[in-house]
């Protein structure tokens, strides 16, 4: 019978027998227990903290006595004195096994700890970032063995951590010698694992034990805004989030106008590349400042973006993306450095990962949505819709995933809408119209009260209602339809047809007046016939794209719908379906994934395997190009009606009454324009 002691680690349940004197860290490593260590067992980093549990553990068949671990040694005592250990905690590298024992590994001591995402989805992110810290002692130079300092650092990393191939940039080489000497030949190396080449790249080197952490940026580079999350690469904690307008807006509001700018202006693409890189630099500095860290501690950055932004970020002229066959210069994931991208705010060696593009119209942002929402792991057939200026649409389940992009235009974001504005304080974001009285009530951004609740006008204040944003206009059009103020073809009825004086002439058409403060010099906020047409075009494009994927997949219905995009979070499922934006499913099967592209970027930042995973998934996705599919036009025309000309939407009609009156009689048209001409 063995005299070794039984050691059980929780929560993993891994167990094994070890002789007296085995350090807990060594036992954990032998059993493959996920226990962190940066300093390599020197008792200085405290990453390997464990909590021994004493008593009878019949579940594990262990009787764990107080003397099952060695007493504190000097190293542990010194650490506790200087930094303090939580009660009951031990340093795994110092505490030695003396008897049978149960040892708990707290979450913060796990390398691959799991981070619960804030979003509705229950999925967790497992921490396994591409860049990690390694503390090593480097041999001092010896004239008899005159190798370079870098080569001795590489040898130390190999000896202590099994790092086989170390590469370094010249800028790191140049800083190497003073750092080694400052740290008295003890240094902490930030090493980036290339998940393809199998080499490690020395991204940063710190004298001694580096304790202020390393950070990563997940950047969602949109046409309109650039959003970033700064994450501690050790804990996974998001320490700051920030956004900035994309300055390329001055070259064109939407993507195609930026492509045109490049085509029309020599050097235009370079100009836009410089602008966006400068904005990213600004954002990086701001977010580091907000988090109170030095920007040089940012060692990783992940980008997700649409194909045009992708090319402009990389310094590639997007001109080919403006015309068939929409050829990407490169579609695979990119591994770069801040120097290559010309990002001066970051250290030159900061590693950049850009997710792969799916197709010329379906970018790395869509890939990030696929990484976040994992349609390929879904048991039921899910349609994921990322609504923005361009809608990315993904349909899939375990058997197959398809993707396309559809040119919805900016109407869903409140642009090209008569009273439209961006989602900012004062914008109407939700609206209900009473089917009996035809009177509206609404809510504006910045105030939790509805407009018919007491105190609303005091809370909002003078001029506090400024326009209508994307989610507001979608709800407004849907409510017009539910209230019978607009017919299935999208025509707004006259006061006679609708029975309300809120139906007001607007040239030869009718508009529905939501808010009129013109007498006090304030705005008139209405839904015009033109607004309805713009929303119809956008929603038809979206629906037609989804239908095209369903055709390709050979199905007539999907099991559930996920609305992604910052905007997706604000769309009410009922209103989206009344409008016919998405196919008919039970309302409780429509969920919001929040900013799924941004979440995908965060996942790729925190977990290196996720990068390999999304690269594989993207290769396997069936790409559908809406521009060349003849059925797209058919689907588009049929989707013009609200909710749809031919698709019956039984799930919707089971819960919502949709009046089928038609307002087509031309005698009811107002004669406004004709009058004005007369």
Residues that bind a copy of itself (CB under 8 A): 140-151, 169-171, 173-174, 176-177, 197, 199, 314-317, 319-320, 324-332, 336, 340-341, 357-360, 362, 623, 625, 627-628
* Between 329 and 641, CB nearer to a copy of itself: 329
The span from the CA of 256 to the CA of 253, in Å, is 9
* Between 118 and 144, CB nearer to a copy of itself: 144
* Between 172 and 542, CB nearer to a copy of itself: 172
- Taking the complex as a whole, how short is the minimal distance between the CB of residue 340 and a copy of itself, in angstroms? 5
Closest by Cα among 488, 432, 501 to 658: 488
- Taking the complex as a whole, how short is the minimal distance between the CB of residue 627 and a copy of itself, in angstroms? 7
* Between 274 and 623, CB nearer to a copy of itself: 623
- Taking the complex as a whole, how short is the minimal distance between the CB of residue 230 and a copy of itself, in angstroms? 25
- Taking the complex as a whole, how short is the minimal distance between the CB of residue 637 and a copy of itself, in angstroms? 22
Please report the DSSP string for 294-358 in residue order.
Answer: -GGGEEEEEEEE-HHHHHHHHT--GGGGGSTT---S--S-EEEEHHHHT-TTS-TT-EEEEPPP-
Residue 632 backbone dihedrals phi, psi, to 5 degrees: -60, -45
* Between 427 and 618, CB nearer to a copy of itself: 618
- Taking the complex as a whole, how short is the minimal distance between the CB of residue 659 and a copy of itself, in angstroms? 42
Q: How many CA atoms lie within 13 A of 622 on its CB side?
A: 16
- Taking the complex as a whole, how short is the minimal distance between the CB of residue 639 and a copy of itself, in angstroms? 22
* Between 244 and 336, CB nearer to a copy of itself: 336
- Taking the complex as a whole, how short is the minimal distance between the CB of residue 167 and a copy of itself, in angstroms? 9
* Between 76 and 317, CB nearer to a copy of itself: 317
* Between 336 and 459, CB nearer to a copy of itself: 336
Find out whether 408 and 636 touch, Cβ atoms under 8 Å.
no
CA distances from 428 to 415, 470, 478, 482, 484 (A): 14, 9, 15, 19, 21
Closest by Cα among 492, 474, 473 to 483: 492
The angle subtended at Cα 147 by Cα 141 and Cα 150, nearest 5°, is 85
Q: Give 569's DSSP letter.
A: G
Q: How many CA atoms lie within 13 A of 502 on its CB side?
A: 23
Closest by Cα among 333, 203, 221 to 284: 221
CA distances from 414 to 171, 314, 424 (A): 47, 29, 11
* Between 35 and 393, CB nearer to a copy of itself: 393
- Taking the complex as a whole, how short is the minimal distance between the CB of residue 285 and a copy of itself, in angstroms? 23
- Taking the complex as a whole, how short is the minimal distance between the CB of residue 501 and a copy of itself, in angstroms? 51
């Amino acid at each position: 019978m063995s005299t070794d002691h039984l050691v059980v680690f929780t929560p993993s349940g891994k167990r094994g027998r070890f002789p007296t004197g085995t350090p807990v860290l060594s036992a954990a490593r032998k059993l493959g227990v996920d226990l962190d260590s940066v300093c390599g067992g020197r008792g200085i980093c405290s990453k390997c903290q464990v909590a021994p549990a004493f008593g009878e553990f019949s579940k594990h068949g262990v009787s764990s006595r107080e003397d099952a671990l060695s007493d504190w040694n000097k190293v542990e005592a010194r650490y506790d004195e200087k930094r303090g250990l939580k009660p009951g905690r031990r340093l795994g590298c110092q505490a030695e096994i003396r008897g049978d024992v149960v040892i708990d590994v707290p979450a913060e001591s796990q390398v691959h700890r799991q981070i619960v995402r804030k979003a509705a989805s229950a999925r967790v992110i497992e921490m396994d970032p591409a860049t990690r810290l390694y503390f090593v002692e480097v041999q001092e130079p010896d004239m008899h063995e005159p190798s370079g300092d870098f080569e001795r650092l590489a040898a130390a990393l190999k000896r202590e951590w099994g790092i086989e191939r170390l590469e370094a940039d010249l800028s790191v080489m140049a800083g190497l010698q003073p750092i080694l000497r400052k740290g008295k030949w003890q240094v902490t190396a930030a090493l980036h694992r290339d998940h393809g080449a199998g080499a490690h790249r020395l991204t940063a080197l710190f004298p001694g034990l580096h304790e202020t952490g390393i950070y990563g940026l997940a950047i969602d580079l949109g046409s309109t805004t650039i959003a970033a999350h700064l994450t501690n690469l050790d804990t996974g904690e998001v320490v700051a989030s920030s956004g900035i307008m994309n300055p390329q807006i001055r070259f064109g509001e939407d993507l195609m106008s930026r492509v045109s700018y490049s085509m029309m202006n020599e050097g235009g693409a370079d100009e836009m590349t410089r602008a966006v890189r400068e904005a990213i630099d600004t954002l990086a500095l701001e977010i580091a400042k907000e988090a109170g860290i030095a920007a040089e501690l940012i060692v990783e950055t992940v980008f997700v973006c649409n194909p045009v932004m992708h090319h402009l970020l990389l310094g590639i002229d997007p001109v080919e993306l403006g015309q068939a066959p929409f050829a990407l210069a490169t579609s695979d994931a990119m591994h770069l450095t801040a120097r290559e991208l010309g990002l001066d705010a970051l250290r030159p060696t900061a590693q950049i990962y850009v997710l792969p593009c799916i197709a010329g119209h379906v970018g790395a942002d869509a890939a990030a949505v696929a990484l976040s929402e994992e349609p390929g792991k879904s048991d039921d057939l899910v349609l994921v819709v990322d609504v923005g200026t361009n809608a990315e649409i993904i349909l899939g389940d375990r058997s197959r995933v398809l993707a396309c992009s559809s040119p919805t235009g900016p109407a869903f974001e409140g642009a090209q809408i008569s009273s439209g504005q961006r989602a900012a304080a004062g914008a109407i974001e939700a609206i209900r119209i009473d089917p009996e009285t035809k009177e509206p009530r609404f809510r504006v951004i910045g105030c939790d009260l509805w407009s018919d609740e007491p105190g609303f006008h005091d809370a909002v204040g003078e001029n506090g209602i400024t326009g209508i944003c994307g989610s507001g206009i979608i709800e407004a059009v849907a409510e017009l339809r539910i209230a019978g103020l607009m017919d299935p073809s999208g025509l707004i009825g006259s006061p006679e047809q609708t029975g309300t004086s809120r139906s007001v002439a607007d040239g030869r058409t009718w508009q529905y007046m939501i808010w009129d403060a013109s007498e006090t010099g304030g705005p008139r906020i209405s839904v015009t016939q033109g607004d309805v047409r713009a929303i119809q075009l956008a929603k038809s494009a979206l629906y037609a794209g989804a239908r095209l994927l369903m055709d390709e997949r050979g199905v007539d219905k999907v099991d559930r719908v996920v609305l992604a995009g910052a905007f997706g979070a604000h769309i009410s499922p009922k209103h989206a379906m009344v409008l016919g934006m998405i196919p008919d499913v039970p309302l409780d099967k429509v969920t919001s994934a929040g900013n799924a592209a941004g979440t995908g970027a965060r996942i790729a930042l925190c977990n290196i395997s996720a990068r390999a995973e999304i690269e594989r998934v993207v290769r396997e996705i069936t790409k559908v190009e809406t521009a060349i599919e003849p059925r797209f036009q058919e689907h588009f025309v049929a989707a013009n009606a609200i909710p749809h000309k031919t698709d019956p939407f039984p799930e919707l009609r089971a819960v919502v009454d949709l009046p089928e009156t038609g307002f087509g009689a031309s005698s009811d048209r107002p004669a406004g324009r004709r009058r004005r001409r007369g």
